[in-house]
Structure 1
């Protein structure tokens, strides 16, 4: 019946200019950390585990960019890529 759909919960999300892809953020932050002479993997792991933005350089606006996403979104992206999903 057509009215059955009225009972379902629908998802609605408005895209904004600030929407960023987790993959793009991870690559950008990696490159910024590398340019500054840090070990990017160690720094990013430190951030993902602690949530402390001090692990991420402000070079190339990397710290502001990584904070636009929740850490769980970044971890989900890493797992998707690693597991090929």
Structure 2
């Protein structure tokens, strides 16, 4: 039996950080492999919140539900701006 005067240590394991861009890549790949139009399916999910727009192939549905839909939109918009607006503004 342990002494009640001693402090017990408890360490919570952190969940691995969810990287939104990686989740989008995996979901896109899974949807493509199953023959779906990945852009349409992801838009359907983001607009409705209905996870059935995403295939369960490769755990894609479970993965995409780990992030908020607004985080997906932020990542996609950030990528678009970086590739299309920021690069164009640096051209002479």
TM-score (norm 1): 0.79
The structural deviation recorded for 1:19 is 2.0
Instruction: Give the 4+ runs in structure 1 shifted more than 3 A.
Output: none
CA radius of gyration, larger in: 2
Deviation at 1:16, TM superposition (A): 2.8
Q: What is the alpha-carbon distance in structure 1 between the residues aligned to residue 14 and residue 53 of structure 2? A: 27
What's the RMSD between the two structures over aligned residues? Answer: 1.5
Structure 2: gaps (5+ residues)? 1-12, 87-92
TM-score, normalised to structure 2, is 0.73
Q: Distance in 1 between matches of 2:32 and 2:66?
A: 20
Query: How many residues matched?
Result: 71
